[in-house]
Amino acid sequence: MRGLLLAALLLAAPAWAQAQGQDRPIRLVVPFPPGGSTDVVARVVAQRLGEALGVPVVAENRPGAGGSIGSEVVARAAPDGTTIGIATSSTHPAAVVLQKGVPYDPVRDFAPITQIGVTPYILVAGPGMPATLAEFLALARSRPGAISYASVGSSTLGYLLTRQLELLAGVRMLHVPYRGSSQAYPDLINGTVAVLLDNPTGSAGLVREGRLRGYAVTTPSAVLPDVPGFAAAGVPGFETPFWYGLVGPAGMPAAQAQRMQQALARHFLGAGRAELADKDVTPVMGTPAAFAAVIAADLASFRALAERAGIQPE
């Protein structure tokens, strides 16, 4: 009997290890192109998670449809811990508010792992634009519908918040969508488009170099401390941050999600805090349950904002 029990345990061991995701590489799906803010954060997280778990964590870019393509890859993956993905406040609560036919439910189809961190939004412009936000808004008011703004798609939070900015500032601009923020930067620099509501993770270096102007931030920026808040720049009430998170497919073992969250929290809330702070991301690394609550709350908030702005899903 003891021999049979030992044999059964030995046979079960590989399956148990596989279920825990401890013996195979992990694919981390990034739903935006290389070089943008989400990609930068994802690669830092992939490196440190792999070190903590003792297996390779490989970032894989799957851009398109405002992040919906890559997010669907995660939602449809086997819930064995070998495929996880970066979620953002755009790909999850905002996408289903702004886009028809999103092929996933941001709550039902995912297992929250952790909210990685939060970052401000910054309104950036090319060097040929006016020097201050007030001057830029005066120009936009004088040319309704002629001044352009970039976004990474009409299904993203950046687009929704730019529409909110238009309402608050009393301007109307022309929307020009891009697949990723890194693709918009050259057009901002050369004046093809005027402004982009971006995350400092991707654009702070360009602002410091003088290749882009930083007009204002929704919340204080550690890496761009001289850029004023929107209230100080003349647009009060515009204060929404952006978040990054980590999710797996629905059905992913809770113990596995908790293990990943705890590993990331130990590093990024400790010695590794500066690795995200240097990119203007304040680490959160909360529990899976806390992250689930954030997604649900933002979903309700963004629906209300879209209704006020008269935005219908497209």
pLDDT of residue 22: 53
Q: What is the pLDDT of residues 199-254, one digit of tens each?
A: 887 899 999 999 999 999 999 998 999 999 999 999 999 999 999 999 999 999 99
Residues 6+ apart with CB under 8 A from 293: none
Three-state SS for 39?
Answer: helix
Q: Where in the chain is the domain with CATH 3.40.190.150?
A: 23-119+241-309
For residue 55, pLDDT beyond 60: yes
| Dist. CA 181–CA 119, nearest whole Å | 15
Cβ neighbors of 178 (< 8 A, separation 6 or more) are 150, 151, 152, 153, 184, 187
Which residues of the chain are in CATH 3.40.190.10 domains?
122-217
Write out the DSSP string of 42-58: HHHHHHHHHHHHTS-EE
Cα–Cα distance, 66 to 68 (Å, whole number)? 6
- pLDDT tens track for 74-101: 999 999 999 999 999 989 999 899 988 9
Q: Which CATH class is domain 23-119+241-309?
A: alpha beta
**Using 50, 70 and 90 to split pLDDT, how confident is the model at 71?**
very high
CATH architecture entry for 122-217: 3-Layer(aba) Sandwich (3.40)
pTM confidence score: 0.79
- What would the pLDDT profile of 269-289 be if each residue is shown by its tens digit? 999 999 999 888 999 999 999
Over range 50-66, report the average pLDDT: 94
Alpha-carbon gap, residue 29 to 118, rounded angstroms:
19
Q: Which of the 8 DSSP states describes residue 239?
A: -
The token pair that represents 133 in the structure block = 């936000």
